[in-house]
């Protein structure tokens, strides 16, 4: 039989993917893990700390995948290849993902939509190196876009990807073929990144 911390993590991961953090009780986790309520406090300190631990694991996996995909691309990689390396690790329904990866993607999307203070800090710490590298490589393809506007476009894409994980969008996109949806997202992001920058405001 697996040790108690592992069973608690597995139960929390499954419930996070199914319901989201806001709809999980401590009793839900311990019942699913076959553990007593006190075990969460003993091993993790609190329910929130356990959930953060599960999200941290998924975040680590996602950023490791992004780093690996970017590292595999040559220095002269095209913009579309960079965009795919960026978004596919966060894309929950991509055909390459198995059930465990899809579950962790749903957890990530829930965490990005409603991050706890601990996860907000972790996101800033883990994302910064990857996003700096990504923006540096993207900027070579869009020299006409000022850096501040490129950062705005990058942030807008992150927000849109997070929104796609919401229940409303999941229902709307349920019938869309996964690879087709990925291609459509890539095309939309490419259009946004390469668009002409906003001009000066006209005053009347």
What pLDDT digit, counting tens, does each position of 58-117 carry? Answer: 888 878 888 899 999 999 999 999 999 888 776 644 444 566 666 777 777 777 767 778
Which range, of 1-10, 106-115, 139-148, averages the lowest pLDDT? 106-115
Task: Determine the pLDDT at residue 180.
Answer: 83
In this predicted structure, the answer to whether residue 46 has a pLDDT above a threshold of 70 is yes
Look at residue 107 in the predicted model and tell me its pLDDT: 78
Q: Does 160 map to a domain?
A: yes
The reply to whether 203 falls in a domain is no
Considering its fold, how many domains does the chain have in total?
Answer: 1
For residue 90, the model assigns a pLDDT of 67
| CATH code (residue 143) | 1.10.357.10
> What is the domain extent for residue 61?
55-194
Is pLDDT above 90 for 119?
no
With bands split at pLDDT 50, 70 and 90, how would you rate the model's confidence at 160? confident
Within a domain: residue 185?
yes
Domain-located, residue 69: yes
Q: Report the candidate in 106, 125, 126, 131 with the shortest Cα–Cα distance to residue 54.
A: 106
Tell me which of 9 and 107 has the higher pLDDT.
9
CB 125 within 8 A of CB 117: no
**Contacts by 162-165 with C-beta closer than 8 Å and gap 24+?**
162/109, 162/112, 162/113, 163/113, 164/92, 164/109, 165/92, 165/105, 165/106, 165/108, 165/109, 165/110, 165/112, 165/113
Q: For the whole prediction, is pTM greater than 0.75?
A: no
Query: Does the pLDDT value for residue 20 go beyond 70?
Result: yes
Could you tell me if residue 182 is inside a domain? Answer: yes
Residue 159 lies in a domain: yes
> What's the mean per-residue pLDDT of the chain?
84
Among residues of the chain, what percentage have pLDDT more than 70? 84
Q: 86 in a domain, yes or no?
A: yes
Q: Does some domain include residue 29?
A: no
């Amino acid at each position: 039989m697996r040790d108690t911390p592992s069973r608690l993590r597995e139960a929390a991961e499954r419930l996070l993917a199914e319901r989201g953090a806001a709809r999980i009780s401590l009793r839900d986790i311990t019942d699913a893990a076959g553990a007593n309520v006190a075990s969460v406090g003993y091993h993790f300190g609190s329910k929130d700390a356990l959930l953060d631990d599960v999200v941290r694991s998924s975040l680590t996996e996602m950023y490791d995948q992004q780093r690996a995909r970017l590292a595999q691309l040559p220095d002269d990689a095209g913009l579309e290849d960079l965009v795919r390396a960026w978004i596919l690790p966060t894309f929950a329904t991509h055909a390459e993902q198995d059930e465990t990866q899809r579950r962790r993607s749903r957890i990530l999307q829930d965490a990005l939509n409603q991050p706890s203070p601990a996860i907000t800090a972790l996101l800033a710490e883990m994302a910064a190196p990857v996003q700096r590298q990504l923006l540096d490589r993207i900027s070579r393809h869009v020299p006409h876009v000022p850096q501040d506007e490129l950062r705005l476009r990058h942030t807008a894409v992150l927000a849109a990807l997070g929104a796609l994980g919401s229940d409303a969008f999941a229902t709307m996109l349920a019938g869309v073929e996964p690879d087709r949806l990925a291609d459509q997202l890539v095309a939309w992001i490419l259009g946004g990144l390469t668009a002409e920058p906003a001009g000066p405001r006209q005053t009347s």
